[in-house]
């Protein structure tokens, strides 16, 4: 009897170790997949604050909360089941869809670059807001627009994640997709909330009786517009780098590997010439090459989209 009990306990311990190892492996894969999606995370963080600009400070956090809930629904309710169904029924479609999403990122990034180089003529001011009903309608419109944009970016995050764990067991895929979706949503909208409220914190400090706090507050208020501009530039660069990299690796997957090999060789040649900084140099060369490819591809797509999309009168 005691021997049987010992054997049962040993089996339970073995199963617990196996479960812990599987969970640790899944957590590791989730971390790696999240890192691969960092470019989209940066862009999402850079884009979202724009949706709450112009509203009362008391409405900023509620709007961000609604957008975050919509983002979570996009990832866990819509995209996660779709990604799992895709991995089970049509795994061959993952790479083409990933490349399509990469091309979209290239298009968005190139469009932002072109708008910065050749700013559009006045695009019309915002619709005047006079009554509480106007404010409510405008807020609803902004939130819906932000959630639609998030759906596109979230789809790319989930596609990158799925591609990273395509060969893993089914429940590992479920865990990794859910963990990455939840973690990225919390990260992005937590940071967005901090960014949006930073100027309010700065104003509060600027009214402090303590001179050092007033100085800090004034610095924060002055720095926020420049910080948001810098964040926008980083987001654009990240879109081009990630989008171009996805397309580059997709082409390599289908045997069009000349460009990928050229970038690899160039990165290693540059890395070999800088000694201890080799890893950073290789990454910079690879990211720059992917970004240039993304910019070139996006610049080709922009006029095609403009021709295919009828202009709307303002």
Q: Is the pLDDT of residue 308 over 60?
A: yes
- What's the CA gap between 64 and 151, in Å, rounded? 15
Greater pLDDT, 92 or 73: 73
- Tell me, what's the pLDDT at 294? 92
Q: Where are the beta strands (DSSP E) in the chain?
A: none
Contact, 106 vs 182, CB < 8 A? no
- Please give the model's pTM, rounded to 2 decimal places: 0.69
Break the chain into its structural domains and give their ranges. Answer: 22-120+130-233
Share of the chain above pLDDT 90, in %: 7
Share of the chain above pLDDT 70, in %: 79
Q: Quick: pLDDT tens for 93-120.
A: 878 888 888 888 888 889 888 888 876 5
- Tell me, what's the pLDDT at 6? 46
Q: Quick: pLDDT tens for 16-74.
A: 444 444 445 555 555 555 555 555 666 667 667 777 777 777 888 888 999 999 999 99
- Tell me, what's the pLDDT at 92? 83
H-helix or E-strand containing 212?
helix 211-253
- What's the CA gap between 53 and 220, in Å, rounded? 17
Q: What is the mean pLDDT of residues 189-217?
A: 84
Contact, 235 vs 45, CB < 8 A? yes
Among 24-33, 121-130, 275-284, which stretch is predicted with the lowest mean pLDDT?
Answer: 121-130
Mean of pLDDT over the chain: 77
- What's the CA gap between 89 and 155, in Å, rounded? 18
**Could you give the angle at which helices 170-206 and 38-47 cross, rounded to 10 degrees?**
40
Instruction: Classify residue 24 as left (phi > 0), alpha (psi -120 to 50) or beta.
Output: alpha
- Tell me, what's the pLDDT at 301? 92
Q: Quick: pLDDT tens for 226-241.
A: 887 787 788 788 778 8
Q: Is the pLDDT of residue 293 over 90?
A: yes
């Amino acid at each position: 009897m005691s021997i049987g009990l010992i054997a049962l306990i040993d089996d339970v311990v073995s199963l617990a170790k196996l479960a812990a190892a599987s969970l640790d492996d899944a957590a590791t894969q989730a971390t790696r997949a999240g890192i691969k999606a960092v470019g989209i995370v940066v862009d999402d963080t850079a884009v979202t604050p724009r949706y709450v600009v112009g509203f009362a400070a008391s409405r900023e956090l509620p709007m961000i909360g609604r957008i975050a809930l919509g983002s979570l629904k996009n990832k866990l309710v819509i995209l996660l089941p779709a990604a799992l169904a895709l991995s089970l029924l049509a795994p061959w479609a993952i790479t083409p869809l990933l490349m399509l999403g990469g091309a979209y990122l290239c298009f968005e990034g190139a469009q932002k670059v072109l708008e910065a180089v050749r700013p559009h003529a006045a695009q019309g001011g915002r619709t005047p807001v006079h009554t509480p009903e106007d404010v409510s309608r405008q807020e609803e419109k902004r939130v819906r627009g932000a959630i639609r944009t998030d759906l596109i970016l979230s789809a790319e995050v989930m596609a990158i994640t799925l591609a990273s764990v395509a060969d893993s067991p089914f429940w590992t895929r479920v865990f990794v997709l859910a963990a990455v979706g939840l973690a990225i949503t919390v990260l992005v909208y937590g940071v967005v909330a901090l960014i949006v409220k930073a100027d309010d914190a700065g104003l509060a400090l600027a009214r402090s009786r303590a001179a050092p706090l007033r100085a800090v507050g004034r610095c924060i208020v002055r720095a926020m517009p420049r910080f948001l501009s810098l964040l926008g530039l980083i987001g654009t660069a990240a879109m081009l780098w990630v989008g171009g990299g996805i397309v580059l690796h997709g082409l390599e997957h289908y045997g069009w590997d000349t460009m990928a090999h050229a970038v690899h060789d160039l990165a290693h040649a540059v890395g070999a010439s800088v000694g201890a900084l080799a890893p950073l140099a290789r990454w910079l060369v690879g990211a720059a090459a992917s970004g240039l490819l993304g910019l070139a591809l996006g610049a080709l797509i922009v006029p095609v989209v403009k021709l295919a999309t009828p202009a709307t009168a303002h």
